[in-house]
Amino acid sequence: MLAAALAALPAAAQEIALVPYPVDHEARVDSPADARFLLDGPAGKHGFVTARDGKLWRGDGTRFRCWGVNMTGWAVGSDEIPAHGAATAYAKALARLGVNCVRLHFLDMPDSIAPVRNEGAARGPAAGPFTHRPRGLIRDDLPDSRSFNAERLDRLDFWIAELKKNGIYVNFNLNVGRMYKKGDGVPDAELVGVAKAFTYFGPELIALQKDYARKLLGHRNPYTGLRYADDPAMMTVEVVNENSLLEFWMRNWLRGERVPGGENAQLDMTPHYQKLLTGMYNDWLGKRRSAAQIASLRGMAGVTEGQPVPLMRRGDHPAAPRLRFDAELEFITQVELDFHADMRRFLRDELGVKVPIVPTADHTYFMANQPLMRTAMAADLLDAHVYWQHPAIYGRRNQPMVNAPQLSIIQKLARS
């Protein structure tokens, strides 16, 4: 009936061009459609959020329910960390909508504004390059990525204090989009980009992640008087975002062919990190497999005595003998579990984080998620991320999800 009604409209009415509908948050006024009564602020006044028996609880023993948003900006090119006046207006705007949690994403990005292209983007004309990226805390005018921009840190402190005042909790992400530099002492810093997967086993990268967490979560917010690790308005901490070594293994990104001047159109390891990971694998085999099994693995891989057993490429997976397939899967899973166990110990014991800790997200859009679930389940909360036709991956499309139920976010989330 709707289609028939639209068809009956004059041609001119059917051809009216769509125009942007900007929302002026600063000019918003109170109205009956106001959900602030649902928020019991300030956030954290009932104590720290905990996870127990498959539910979230406040410190006073009552259930905590979250209606949250991911925050990277308010419009294309806008700032993730607003100035003081805007922070006050935006916190009130979120509260009016009943939002009681904000996921602060990409805080570990540089503080500069520069054109950027998502490396995973489709190469079609509709996908990228993207002219804006979230501006984070990291000073981009230094040879390393270890210093915060003091003005932007002050903005963040005020922003979080305003959110807290309005009954809105904060979800901190630690490692999301950090770009490493030569001054960090990171091997192949100019090639690894955001260093996903490398962050699980590169010793320099692990140390830098801990350094960042210490500087952020150990920082005392002058507007609340609390370290972030001690603030009950912090709902949870996520260690790495959409980041998995298992994903690299499943998607053939452990080839070790990422080199200066190469095409590098697909994510991959550099030779340095491939050699490091292969060495770790062979050390692990020496402890977990018998000499006879290791000899068999060398034969399967086509290497001679004394040579390291290499990791397979994806094309080898379907026909791989169980001995080889299971060894690699077990090893890579253990690397992830060991990393997250160490980070959890560091956050809990050294930094004093008291809220639920999430290792990573189930983000297996294009593959089975069972391997990654072993890592994701070693957590206080399970995080699952699914996008519908993300423009960075698919280009600019707008197909209704009901037309492709087999690809819908519902069936993907149902796996977790």
Most confident of 58-67, 102-111, 341-350: 341-350
- In this prediction, residues 123-131 reach a mean pLDDT of 45
Residues 6 or more apart whose CB falls under 8 angstroms from that of 264 comprise: 191, 258
Give the per-residue pLDDT at 228.
98
Dist. CA 123–CA 396, nearest whole Å = 12
CB 210 within 8 A of CB 346: yes
Say how far apart CA 192 and CA 253 lie, in whole Å. Answer: 12
Burial class (CB in 10 A: 0-12, 13-18, 19+), 56: middle
Question: Tens of pLDDT along 349-394?
Answer: 999 999 999 999 888 766 778 888 888 888 888 888 888 887 766 6
Distance CA(104)–CA(224), nearest Å, equals: 18
pLDDT at 15: 67
Dist. CA 81–CA 111, nearest whole Å: 10
Percent of the chain with pLDDT over 70: 88
Q: Which amino acid is at 412?
A: K
Query: Residue 141 — φ and ψ, nearest 5°?
Result: -95, 10
> Are 411 and 376 a contacting pair, CB within 8 Å?
no
For residues 196 and 176, give the distance between their C-alpha atoms in angstroms, rounded to a whole number: 9
Query: Is omega for the bond preceding 129 within 30 degrees of 0, making it cis?
Result: yes
pLDDT of 127 > 50? The answer is no
23-43 pLDDT, tens digit per residue, is 777 777 778 889 999 998 899
List of residues 6+ apart from 401 with CB closer than 8 A: 388, 407, 408, 409
Distance from C-alpha of 49 to C-alpha of 354, rounded to nearest angstrom: 8
Q: What is the pTM for the complete model shown?
A: 0.89
Q: What is the mean pLDDT of residues 235-264?
A: 91
Q: Report the candidate in 59, 65, 56 with the shortest Cα–Cα distance to residue 45.
A: 59
Q: Is the pLDDT of residue 121 over 50?
A: no
Which amino acid type is present at position 354? K
| 203: CB partners within 8 A, 6+ apart | none
Note whether 168 and 39 are within 8 A (CB).
Answer: yes
DSSP string, 152-205: HHHHHHHHHHHHHHTT-EEEEEEESS----GGGT-TTHHHHTT-TTGGGT-HHH
pLDDT, residue 5, reads 53
Q: What percent of the chain has pLDDT over 90?
A: 63
Average pLDDT in the chain: 87
**Rg of the chain over all Cα atoms, to the nearest angstrom:** 24
Region for residue 107 given its phi and psi (left: phi exceeds 0; alpha: psi -120 to 50; beta: otherwise): alpha
pLDDT reported for residue 383? 87
Using alpha carbons only, what angle is made at residue 367 by residues 372 and 359, rounded to the nearest 5 degrees? 25
Q: Which amino acid is at 105?
A: H
333 or 380, greater pLDDT: 333
143 preceded by a cis bond (ω within 30 of 0): no
**pLDDT > 90? residue 186:** yes
- Distances in Å between the alpha carbon of 37 and those of 56, 92, 314? 21, 12, 53
Which among 13, 121, 28, 134 has a CA at the least distance from the CA of 73? Answer: 134
The answer to whether the CB of 122 falls within 8 A of the CB of 94 is: no
Phi, psi dihedral angles at 10 (to 5 degrees): -60, 150
Please answer whether residues 51 and 356 qualify as being in contact, where contact means their C-beta atoms are separated by less than 8 angstroms. Answer: yes
Handedness of CA 368, 371, 376, 378 (dihedral sign): positive
> Residue 78: what pLDDT?
63
- For the ranges 20-24, 47-51, 215-219, 220-224, the lowest mean pLDDT is seen at 20-24
Whether the CA torsion 270, 251, 339, 135 is positive or negative: it is: positive
DSSP helix/strand/coil, 305:
coil
Give residue-wise pLDDT tens across range 227-241.
999 999 999 999 999
Q: Give me the phi and psi of 163, to 5 degrees please.
A: -60, -45
pLDDT at 316 over 60: yes
Distance CA 184, CA 182 (A): 5
Q: For residue 290, is pLDDT > 80?
A: yes
Q: Please give the DSSP secondary-structure letter assigned to residue 314.
A: G
* 36's tokens: 């602030």
| Averaged pLDDT, 11-21 | 68
Q: How many CA atoms lie within 13 A of 210 on its CB side?
A: 19
